[in-house]
Amino acid sequence: MPKNPPDGMPRITPYLYYEDVAAALDWLAKAYGFRERMRIPGPDGSIAHAEMELADGVIMVGRPDPAYRNPNRLGGVTQSLYVYVDDVDDHFRHARGAGAVILREPKDEFWGDRDYGAKDPEGHEWYFAQHVRDVTPEEMEEGMKQTAQQPA
């Protein structure tokens, strides 16, 4: 019986749509440090499907068809990705230097992560984090209350 999920695949794997898959693969490697692990050409020679990895995480990448749109084509964001890295400040500097649109500079969060937000060329929002402090459930609850009380 085959292993489910197969070796090398996490249980949950985001699938992101890019109109220019080749450019997206290059950019994700350059800006965010992903490594390409698979590329499947379509009938027209362009990339129909690809997979990239970062540490033990995997993303799938493909071209949108009329039923699926990337955030830039849709005109809004419907999801974001939250990725843990070893050194979030270094990752931030590298991503900014590679041209990532920075949504939020690195900051320490009440849940114990230091994170920042960035947008890729086709509008996908990425949040990169480093866990810097363990928090108790009580600290988490208090942090949520304080955040809810802040003006938007």
* pLDDT tens digits, 81-110: 999 999 999 999 999 999 999 999 999 999
pTM of the model: 0.86
Helix-helix angle 88-97:21-32, to 10 degrees:
130
Q: Which of 1.10.4100.10, 1.20.58.340, 3.30.1180.20, 3.30.720.120 would CATH assign to domain 1-68?
A: 3.30.720.120
What CATH number labels 77-152?
A: 3.30.720.110
Per 3-state DSSP, what percentage of the chain is helix, strand, and coil (rounded to 5)?
25, 35, 40
Phi-psi region of 99 (alpha: psi -120 to 50; beta: other; left: phi over 0): left
pLDDT tens figures, 22-33: 999 999 999 999
CB contact at 8 A, 62 and 15:
yes
